[in-house]
Structure 1
Amino acid sequence: MFEVKAERDVHVALSSRQDQDLDEIYEIVIGGWDNMRSVIRRSRQGYNHVDVQTPNIVSKTEYRTFWIMWSSDGTIAVGRGDENLPFMLWRDPDPLPINYAGLKSDWRNVDRKVGQWKLCRTARPDDAECLVEPAMRHECGWAGITSDQCRSKGCCYNTATTRPEIPWCFHRAKKGGLYSEQRSGYRAAGKHVKAH
């Protein structure tokens, strides 16, 4: 999870190595094209696998909060603030390993006014406690599986109200609600979160 204050073009790169010249990355752009669109790419300046209209999603006058998650099955999700569902979601059929995250903003700004960032060190609230015994934990499937597939793994199925076309599958928790449950077992920008 992170907060950013920028006029446009917030970029997050997810990669296997700490190498600025690496082309095999996931590039996430939030508020590109003069703060009108957001995309997910599989390479630097590559094909837009997800391309959504997001007018004024970032701001040069106030911090806006975003979260990014990924799983070993190649699913990448990008969401806003405390919203439970992503505004961008894509599954790479040939996933890249992700060990590093890189950040930049306003890359075409001729005035050299760059964005300001606040990074969160933890990906889930500390008060959430998983109800599944440690020996029985595994990836639930997260988004895009059927309710029967989800429940057969002992996981919790939820059709969220904001985007009902994207179901969620996650371990149950005593506290923290959907916000913590859907993120557990996945990675957030800059921090590896082990399966609870």
Structure 2
Amino acid sequence: MGPQESDPMYEVFIGGWGNTKSVIRRNRTKPDKVEIETPGILNAGEFRGFWVRWDSGIVSAGREGESIPFISWSDPEPFPIAFVGVCTGWGATGTWKIEDGAEFNTPDKLEYKFGPVATGSLELEYRGPHNCHICLTPAPAEIDPMLEVILGGWENTKSVIRHCRRKPDKVTIPTPGLMNPNEFRKFLLEWHCGRLSVRDGQTGAVLMEWVDPSPFPITHFGVRTGYGARGQWRISHFYRGGARPLPPSAPPASAVYSSPPGYPGGYPGSPHVVGAAPGVGGAGVWVDMTSGQVPPGAVVGGQDCSGEPLYVARAQHQGALIPGKLVASHGCAYIPWGGQEHGKPQYQVLVGGRNHWVPTSGSNIPPGAFPGGQSEDGEPLFIGRVRHEGSVTTGKVQQSHGVCYISFGGQELGFPEYEILMS
């Protein structure tokens, strides 16, 4: 709350207790909220990179280059965070490099400097004559797929969005005088389900926007200058105010279905099953939707870490029809395939049916399981769900693999223990 040790406060201990475990603590009191074993996570002989994120009461920490946190906790009574502090003790001294918001320079050289991102936004300030270049990538390297935003290019006359370093540019707009070598100019980049928006950091006005038809998980950003320009930068890796995040393109419908009574860890306030939607019976039907739309009677299969309901959905990908999850506020459904999470602005939502889930494991598909799609090889795919990182997330069950796959944090994750949806 302030630039001193005062309650309320969160503490994230990384490599404590002789470099054996990590914890999250609230208000300097025990018991710790979360404790996990992390042997050898720190090294006295080299720098180790980490990120800490706070969003909607969820505090989490992860390793640089990894989008999945290794520790996370959801505070039922969150508070606004205005300051960050660091310290060492108990026999340890440390050397720190705090990148978030630190000022640094880029030379007149078309070579990106990379850093990690953990949310779908990047706030930056740039001071230079022209050619402010930002890239968004799935790795800390200049590789495809990648998105590039060039602000104040072509001698400070126009700005563009480029995909995979290829022309023609996806968006081109005139921006004469956008940059100034004598003062910092602030911008905000936001990306959700392939939709990239570039906003003015002072007014929040959208300067450019483009939707990637084949979105990819973004884990890193890069910045550079060139073509006769040097630049000074201030980078904030996480959204902290200013322009508002992109709103959902359609309001979510009222939740009609949810976890059946007795489901362990069911979330408070969730409605009970009340029957099929009007005109819908049996195992339910699939309804075509786009851009975050939720049809009346959509089946709620779980909830996101933030508490937002996740609807049972499916989408086409690489010749397969794959069950996954609809996150209405992101404007798309997500499906797991090939080790990655894939956002789909066009999808189908399950409406009606019993919304009855039973626990199972491995390749044990109970009789009456509801088929939700098929793999590219024609194998039936069923609808499953698992608890992970504070969420109840729906995904696909592939019997030949013996797991339920979910999409989470940009990745495809497999779980041998899961629940399966019944007809």
- Judge same fold: TM > 0.5, yes or no: yes
Q: Structure 2 CA distance, aligned partners of 1:30 and 1:98?
A: 20
5+ residue gaps, structure 1: 1-15, 170-176, 180-196
In the other structure, the counterpart of 1:98 is 81
**Match 2:39 to one of 32, 39, 55:** 55
Correspondence 1:15-54 to 2 at 5 A: 16-20=1-5, 22-54=6-38
Q: Structure 2 CA distance, aligned partners of 1:84 and 1:41?
A: 22
Q: Structure 1 CA distance, aligned partners of 2:48 and 2:245?
A: 37
- Shift of the 45–159 alpha-carbon distance from structure 1 to 2, 3 Å rule, reads farther
- The structure whose residues are more often helix, as a share, is 1
Correspondence 1:116-127 to 2 at 5 A: 116-121=95-100, 124=117, 126-127=134-135
Shift of 1:150: 4.4
- Shift of the 26–84 alpha-carbon distance from structure 1 to 2, 3 Å rule, reads same
Structure 2-normalised TM-score?
0.31
Q: Structure 2 CA distance, aligned partners of 1:18 and 1:138?
A: 32
- Shift of the 136–46 alpha-carbon distance from structure 1 to 2, 3 Å rule, reads closer
| CA deviation map 1:18-69 (0-9, x unaligned) | 113x132101100111000100011124321110000011111111110000
Shift of 1:138: 4.0
Q: Structure 1 CA distance, aligned partners of 2:35 and 2:335?
A: 25
- Shift of the 98–168 alpha-carbon distance from structure 1 to 2, 3 Å rule, reads farther
Does structure 1 conserve the Cα–Cα contact (< 8 Å) formed by 2:60 and 2:69? yes
Aligned residues, how many?
A: 151
Q: Structure 2 CA distance, aligned partners of 1:117 and 1:136?
A: 31
SS of residue matched to 1:103: coil
Q: Structure 1 CA distance, aligned partners of 2:37 and 2:20?
A: 6
In the other structure, the counterpart of 1:81 is 64
- Shift of the 119–165 alpha-carbon distance from structure 1 to 2, 3 Å rule, reads same
Shift of 1:158: 6.2
Identity %: 29
SS of residue matched to 1:101: coil
Structure 1-normalised TM-score?
0.62
In the other structure, the counterpart of 2:246 is 137
Which moved further from structure 2: 31-40 or 41-50? 41-50
Q: Structure 1 CA distance, aligned partners of 2:27 and 2:392?
A: 27
Amino acid corresponding to residue 14 of structure 2 in structure 1: I
Does structure 1 conserve the Cα–Cα contact (< 8 Å) formed by 2:304 and 2:310? no
SS of residue matched to 2:334: strand
Q: Structure 1 CA distance, aligned partners of 2:70 and 2:4?
A: 28
| CA deviation map 1:44-99 (0-9, x unaligned) | 2432111000001111111111000011x200110012111000011000002101
Q: Structure 1 CA distance, aligned partners of 2:333 and 2:50?
A: 24
What is the root-mean-square deviation of aligned Cα atoms in Å? 3.7
Relative contact order (C-alpha < 8 Å, sep 6+): which is higher? 1
Q: Structure 2 CA distance, aligned partners of 1:90 and 1:158?
A: 25
- The structure whose residues are more often strand, as a share, is 2
- Shift of the 96–46 alpha-carbon distance from structure 1 to 2, 3 Å rule, reads farther
| CA deviation map 1:132-189 (0-9, x unaligned) | 6668714999736554274322145366969x934699xxxxxxx949xxxxxxxxxx
- Shift of the 44–136 alpha-carbon distance from structure 1 to 2, 3 Å rule, reads closer
Q: Structure 1 CA distance, aligned partners of 2:62 and 2:335?
A: 17
In the other structure, the counterpart of 1:67 is 51
Which moved further from structure 2: 84-93 or 129-138? 129-138
Does structure 1 conserve the Cα–Cα contact (< 8 Å) formed by 2:326 and 2:334? yes
5+ residue gaps, structure 2: 102-115, 123-133, 137-188, 198-205, 207-243, 249-291, 293-302, 312-324, 341-386, 394-408, 412-423
- Shift of the 100–151 alpha-carbon distance from structure 1 to 2, 3 Å rule, reads same
Q: Structure 2 CA distance, aligned partners of 1:36 and 1:136?
A: 38
